[in-house]
Amino acid sequence: NAGVMQNPRHLVRRRGQEARLRCSPMKGHSHVYWYRQLPEEGLKFMVYLQKENIIDESGMPKERFSAEFPKEGPSILRIQQVVRGDSAAYFCASSPIEAEGAFFGQGTRLTVV
């Protein structure tokens, strides 16, 4: 059973481009969470999804950011028209329903130049 897979591990984008971050949860996990982390800071909640549903997106900026978890395929975090301030590590985590803990991917480190 493979762990949570995120790709790419590193992503460089120029200001104004789009960034697409992918996350494949562990097999059997129906809950996906996205977190953002700046250097030396904590994990900031962005969005929580189940298959085909956004359950809580209270941590997502209202503009330029979107997330989906389709019936088939990975969860996607999409950032349009990236700015330097979007540079961060983006972690995806998955868990089965009502689990004790969540399992994290290795993260995608986005650098906007």
Partner 1 sequence: GQSLEQPSEVTAVEGAIVQINCTYQTSGFYGLSWYQQHDGGAPTFLSYNGLDGLEETGRFSSFLSRSDSYGYLLLQELQMKDSASYFCAVRDPANQKVTFGTGTKLQVIP
Find the shortest distance in angstroms from Cβ 41 to partner 1: 8
The reply to whether omega before 8 is within 30° of 0 (cis) is: yes
Find the shortest distance in angstroms from Cβ 16 to partner 1: 28
- Pattern of binders to partner 1 over 55-84, x per CB under 8 A? xx----------------------------
**Closer CB to partner 1, 28 or 101, in the complex:** 101
Find the shortest distance in angstroms from Cβ 27 to partner 1: 17
Q: Does 108 bind partner 1 (CB under 8 A)?
A: no
Contact 19, 82 (CB under 8 A): yes
Q: What values do phi and psi take at 24, rounded to 5?
A: -105, 115
| 52 Rama class: left (phi>0) / alpha (psi -120 to 50) / beta | left
Contact 86, 19 (CB under 8 A): yes
The number of helix segments (H) and strand segments (E) in the chain equals 0, 11
Q: Does 53 bind partner 1 (CB under 8 A)?
A: no
Q: Does 87 bind partner 1 (CB under 8 A)?
A: no
Binding-site ranges for partner 1 (CB under 8 A): 31, 33, 35, 40-43, 45, 48, 55-56, 91, 93, 95, 97-98, 100-107
